[in-house]
Structure 1
Amino acid sequence: MIARIARTLLLTQFGVAALFYLLLVKLHVTNVPLAIILSLAMVGLFRASITANSFFLTWPNRAKSAHTPELSWPGIFRLFAGEYCATMVCSSWGMPFQRFDKRIYTDTTSLPVLLIHGYGCNSGYWHWMSKALEEAHITHYAVDMEPVFGSIDGYAPLVHEAVQRLVTESGQDKIVIVAHSMGGLAARAYLRDHGCANIAKVITLGTPHHGTTIANFGIGINCGEMNWLGRAEEGTSSEWLQKLAATEEPATRAVILSIYSHHDNIVSPQISSHLPGAENIPISGIGHVALALDPGIQARVIAEIHKAGI
């Protein structure tokens, strides 16, 4: 479904660019290359405004502490540019055209990996992480979580089915889960229902473990379950997240590694990604969508996958 939606939105954007081009021609812009560039730039600026809006919406509730590094203006520009480019390539190439099911390497010495995407995405989001895993010869499967706007509880059986399939087909007793954003909550819901018997490690990237204020602007049951209610200092997690946390034993938290950004533009407050009892690795200057596309994050994830198999 997400692939169809992404392709439709992409075609719509090209259609808008074509209409703008015709308008420029009607206004006697006779330089064809210039008219094409201006038409595409108009769409690009609109897309940039969407990315900018995510920063504006989360800025008032950002995590503020002595441990939160401040970015210089060049750092802010790199943060925005990186997130903008990540959203453009994911929505225009990855999710519409790069969905995949599995990539197997018989010569691997690492545990197999299950990739779980976040809200409003599909397995195509992992296209660039998959390339890094391919270079490392790590077998990896991906799951598409639907219905798109359903409950996170409903994703746990999908994750369980994918885990059992990967265990059976790989011949390994344990696997590693790598999950982005809401996918990390789906992984925790799976652990709640099925335990850690087949899981060596869960690596979450930008997961709102305690909720996010921007979920209040989204649609779907899953958005309601990811809500952060109130400001950063005195807010609370949604009822669903509180119930999830209440079910977790220390042994469950111990298999989770949360990698998150101090400057995430979707998870707000950003400290929501810090999960007590888990291993937490905060980083700086990377946006939400860009996390799985960043070479440094990819290298860290691969190193953790190797460690999990030792």
Structure 2
Amino acid sequence: MIVRLTRILLLAQLVMTGVLAIAAIKLWHVEQIWLAWLLGLGIVLMFRAAITANNFLIARRYRDHTEPVPPLGWFQYSLLFIKEFYATIYSTSWSLPFQSFTQRLCPGSTSTASTVLPVLLIHGYGCNSGYWHSMSKALQQAGISHGAVDLEPVLGSIDAYASQLQQAIDALCLSCGSDRVVLVGHSMGGLAARAYLRARGDARVARVITLATPHYGTAVANYGIGINSAQMRWTNDDGVGGANAWLRQLERDESSATRAMISSIYTPHDNIVSPHSSCHLPGARNIVLPRIGHVAFALHPAVQACVIEEIRLASKAIPDSARKMA
């Protein structure tokens, strides 16, 4: 569904660019056709930039006041915004509509001699497997076989995704001859991975790596739609703010052993997860990488390198006898 939706939105933006170009010629008396198209494209991009800027403003409103955030100068903040804006354009105009995939197996990583576990990539809210296009290239260069899912329904319950994740895990294990996988989830995908562990257990999972995941909710989700958006909301019922009922129940259902198998990688400069301390998961391995935006997070080389290192560490911790399917 996201593939179809993003293609429709992309087409709508191209049509709007054309309409604005015609307006520039007819109303503003722009004589050069290329300049008219450039003006039309510029207006569309400015509208897109305004949406990204609004996310930053909302995140700033609910930012942490109790935990210190590394300060950014105007140049660094501008660079953060530009990279995040580029990531949104890249994702919605290229990777989401045209780069979705199910599995990408690397030579040697599917043999019994492989020492690295396969990885299942779980996208976030309003995305699909195409979001992982950049991460997929990094995993391929590292020789790590991986798969991805397209969570449906798009606005459904996070709990309902467990069956899809089970099917994807079973298929990836079968393709790679492995008994376990590493789950990597971006944003809502991290919550989907935790909900899977609650529903299905950890027999097929060696480790869960969450990227910019709102473990205790985010205020930005209050402006979203769908059951899954409601499950990610940061509430303010008591005047203080905190996780909603679904997230609190998810926390109560987890054991200390489950928390110990999770790595939460996040940024204190997140423009979607606010407050950013929501990404900090007690009992898990928490890794902070500053000066990266939310959509740009899984596209960033430093994050990709950190994920690959966590995958290798998780693979080393699993004995060979427990790694391969019979």
Same fold? TM cut 0.5: yes
SS in 2 for 1:202: strand
Distance 1:224-1:14 versus aligned 2 partners, 3 A rule = same
1:20 is matched with: 20
Alignment partners' CA distance in 1, 2:62 and 2:80:
18
Deviation at 1:284, TM superposition (A): 1.0
1:206 is matched with: 212
2:253 is matched with: 247
1:39 is matched with: 40
Alignment partners' CA distance in 2, 1:78 and 1:63:
21
Q: Is the 8 A contact 1:207 1:267 kept in 2?
A: yes
| Map 1:70-219 → 2, pairs under 5 A | 70-108=71-109, 109=114, 110-219=116-225
User: Aligned AA for 1:169?
Assistant: S
Distance 1:183-1:232 versus aligned 2 partners, 3 A rule = farther
Alignment partners' CA distance in 2, 1:196 and 1:172:
14
Q: Gaps spanning 5+ residues in structure 2: where?
A: 317-326
1:3 is matched with: 3
List structure 1 segments (4+ residues) > 3 angstroms apart after TM superposition: none
SS in 1 for 2:296: helix
Q: Is the 8 A contact 2:16 2:44 kept in 1?
A: yes
User: Aligned AA for 2:105?
Assistant: I
User: Aligned AA for 2:45?
Assistant: G
SS in 2 for 1:265: coil
1:282 is matched with: 288
User: Aligned AA for 1:238?
Assistant: N
Alignment partners' CA distance in 2, 1:259 and 1:193:
23
2:320 is matched with: none
Q: Is the 8 A contact 2:182 2:207 kept in 1?
A: yes
Q: Is the 8 A contact 1:117 1:143 kept in 2?
A: yes
Bigger mean CA offset, 228-237 vs 148-157: 228-237
Alignment partners' CA distance in 2, 1:70 and 1:230:
26
2:322 is matched with: none
SS in 1 for 2:78: helix
Q: Is the 8 A contact 1:61 1:232 kept in 2?
A: no
Q: Is the counterpart of residue 295 in structure 1 residue 271 in structure 2?
A: no
User: Aligned AA for 1:43?
Assistant: V
Alignment partners' CA distance in 2, 1:113 and 1:232:
40
Deviation at 1:231, TM superposition (A): 9.3
SS in 2 for 1:309: helix
For 1:263, which of 256, 260, 269 is the aligned residue?
269
Q: Is the 8 A contact 2:24 2:36 kept in 1?
A: yes
Question: After superposition, what is the alpha-carbon deviation per residue over 1:10-66, rounded to whole angstroms, capped at 9, x for unaligned?
Answer: 000000000000011103210222212111111111110010010111211112345
Q: Is the counterpart of residue 230 in structure 1 residue 231 in structure 2?
A: no
User: Aligned AA for 2:289?
Assistant: I
User: Aligned AA for 1:131?
Assistant: K
Q: Is the counterpart of residue 64 in structure 1 residue 50 in structure 2?
A: no
User: Aligned AA for 1:132?
Assistant: A
Alignment partners' CA distance in 2, 1:47 and 1:233:
33
Alignment partners' CA distance in 2, 1:247 and 1:299:
31
Alignment partners' CA distance in 2, 1:77 and 1:233:
33
Alignment partners' CA distance in 2, 1:54 and 1:267:
10
Alignment partners' CA distance in 1, 2:214 and 2:151:
17
Deviation at 1:234, TM superposition (A): 2.0
Q: Is the 8 A contact 2:103 2:172 kept in 1?
A: no
User: Aligned AA for 1:213?
Assistant: A
Alignment partners' CA distance in 1, 2:223 and 2:245:
18
Alignment partners' CA distance in 2, 1:282 and 1:231:
29
1:308 is matched with: 314
User: Aligned AA for 2:218?
Assistant: T
Aligned residues: 310
Alignment identity in percent? 52
Q: Gaps spanning 5+ residues in structure 1: where?
A: none
SS in 2 for 1:203: strand
Q: Is the 8 A contact 2:289 2:303 kept in 1?
A: no
